[in-house]
């Protein structure tokens, strides 16, 4: 809510001529800060959302960083510093500034990249000898395109990169249920009972080393030491760890599909432009097949 300073605010009582105040009435100066808006904890229609989510939607920063910006007094809405991360804003109407600089919706870019093995999915290599995907697509780093759905260094296949933080969270955030499809080759087979146990969920270590039970998933034997696995989860090196649970090693892992978007197992290191609905199917129910 925004109050125009040029407008006078009345209490509903009648005023005497020449703006004389009624007997006993006391006037208080209005504070410079904007009135507290109704807070919300979700994205709603017509561009209205919580302030910390607005910064993410506008690709200013991540949600975690947005909370720090807001609590640190670095964010203004309509000229007033706001410290409430749940403050309701309208992206189409309200004027938001970070560190005194106006922010507005950026032009979003989305690309699908066919990652080869041997490259890390990171802006920064873990070691001087390591290579990253941005060596193959340097424009992506220059345009702040970040990966949604990581693959470890040894794995191959489909990666989505974009500067749309809200879309990143939608398809790869902890609450995302978007299906990701993999073709996996191993050094040994697992039996039918192990396949059933694999599908029902097993306990592995997450990225921080804590034990976690995997969500139910789909696994189908498609050949000797070859499996198709479909996950709706993104634990670090998840499929490798799941097979290691049965003392089986993954020797090749190719992600060929995310949501509705599917690629072929060739032309590694290439990319193409996509639209969000190519993955989410928001505007079509047909699977989008691309050759990259």
Q: Is 187 helix (H, G, I), strand (E, B) or coil?
A: coil
Size of the chain, expressed as the number of residues it contains? 292
pLDDT digits (tens, 9 = 90+) for 167-225: 887 887 666 778 999 999 999 999 999 999 999 999 998 877 789 999 999 999 999 99
More confident residue, 137 or 15: 137
pLDDT digits (tens, 9 = 90+) for 235-274: 889 999 999 999 999 999 999 999 999 999 888 999 999 9
The confidence score (pLDDT) of residue 84 equals: 94
Asked if residues 246 and 198 have their Cβ atoms less than 8 Å apart, the reply is yes
Q: What are phi and psi of 130, to 5 degrees?
A: -80, 150
User: Among the residues of 42-150, which ranges form H helices?
Assistant: 51-57, 63-71, 138-142
Question: What is the distance, to the nearest Å, from the Cα of residue 283 to the centroid of all Cα atoms in its chain?
Answer: 20
Q: Around Cβ 143, how many Cβ atoms within 10 Å?
A: 14
CATH of 110-290, one of 3.40.190.10, 3.30.2350.10, 3.40.50.10380, 3.40.50.720: 3.30.2350.10
The single residue listed with the structure tokens 């409430």 is: 84
Q: What are phi and psi of 9, to 5 degrees?
A: -105, 125
**Could you say which DSSP state residue 133 is in?**
G
Indicate if the pLDDT at residue 92 is higher than 70: yes
**Could you say which DSSP state residue 20 is in?**
P
The confidence score (pLDDT) of residue 64 equals: 84
More confident residue, 122 or 283: 122
- Asked: is 38-103 a CATH 3.10.290.10 domain? The reply is yes
Indicate if the pLDDT at residue 39 is higher than 90: no
Query: If you average pLDDT over residues 133-138, what whole number do you get?
Result: 92
Q: How far is CA 221 from CA 161, 189, 226, 227, in A?
A: 30, 9, 6, 4
Average pLDDT, the chain: 81
Asked if residues 277 and 284 have their Cβ atoms less than 8 Å apart, the reply is yes
> CA 125, 130, 136, 137: dihedral to nearest 10 degrees?
0
Q: Is 97 helix (H, G, I), strand (E, B) or coil?
A: strand
Query: If you average pLDDT over residues 135-156, what whole number do you get?
Result: 89
CATH 3.30.2350.10 residue ranges for the chain? 110-290
Instruction: Burial-class residue 17 by CB neighbours within 10 Å (0-12, 13-18, 19+).
Output: exposed
Q: How far is CA 219 from CA 75, 156, 157, in A?
A: 47, 19, 18
Nearest to 245 by CA among 187, 198, 207: 198
Among 33-47, 128-142, 209-223, name the one with the lowest average pLDDT: 33-47
The confidence score (pLDDT) of residue 271 equals: 94
Indicate if the pLDDT at residue 45 is higher than 80: no
More confident residue, 5 or 251: 251
Indicate if the pLDDT at residue 144 is higher than 70: yes
Query: If you average pLDDT over residues 108-135, what whole number do you get?
Result: 89
The confidence score (pLDDT) of residue 283 equals: 54
CATH 3.10.290.10 residue ranges for the chain? 38-103
The confidence score (pLDDT) of residue 46 equals: 63
β-sheet bridge partners, residue 205: 211
The confidence score (pLDDT) of residue 21 equals: 43
């Amino acid at each position: 809510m925004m109050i125009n300073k040029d407008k006078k605010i009345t209490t509903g009582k009648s005023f005497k001529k020449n703006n004389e105040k009624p007997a006993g009435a006391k006037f208080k100066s209005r504070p410079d800060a904007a009135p507290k808006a109704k807070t919300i904890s979700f994205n709603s229609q017509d561009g209205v959302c919580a302030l910390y989510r607005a910064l993410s939607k506008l690709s200013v920063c991540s949600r975690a960083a947005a909370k720090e910006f807001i609590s640190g007094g670095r964010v203004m809405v309509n000229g007033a510093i706001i410290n409430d991360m749940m403050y309701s804003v309208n992206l189409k109407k309200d004027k938001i500034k970070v560190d005194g600089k106006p922010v507005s919706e950026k032009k979003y870019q989305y690309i699908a990249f066919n990652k080869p093995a041997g490259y890390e999915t990171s802006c920064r290599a873990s070691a001087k000898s390591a290579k990253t995907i941005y060596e193959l697509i340097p424009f992506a780093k220059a345009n702040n395109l970040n990966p949604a759905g990581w693959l470890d260094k040894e794995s191959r296949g489909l990666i989505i990169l974009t500067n749309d933080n809200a879309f990143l969270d939608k398809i790869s955030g902890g609450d995302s249920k978007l299906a990701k499809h993999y073709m996996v080759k191993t050094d040994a087979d697992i039996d039918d009972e192990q396949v059933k146990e694999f599908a029902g969920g097993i306990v592995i270590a997450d990225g921080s080393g804590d034990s976690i039970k995997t969500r139910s998933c789909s696994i189908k034997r498609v050949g000797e030491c070859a499996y198709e696995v479909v996950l709706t989860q993104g634990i670090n090196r998840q499929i490798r760890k799941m097979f290691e649970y049965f003392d089986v090693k993954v020797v090749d892992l190719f992600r060929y599909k995310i949501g509705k978007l599917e690629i072929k197992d060739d032309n590694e290191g290439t990319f193409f432009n996509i639209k969000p609905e190519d993955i989410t199917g928001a505007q079509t129910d047909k699977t989008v097949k691309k050759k990259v």
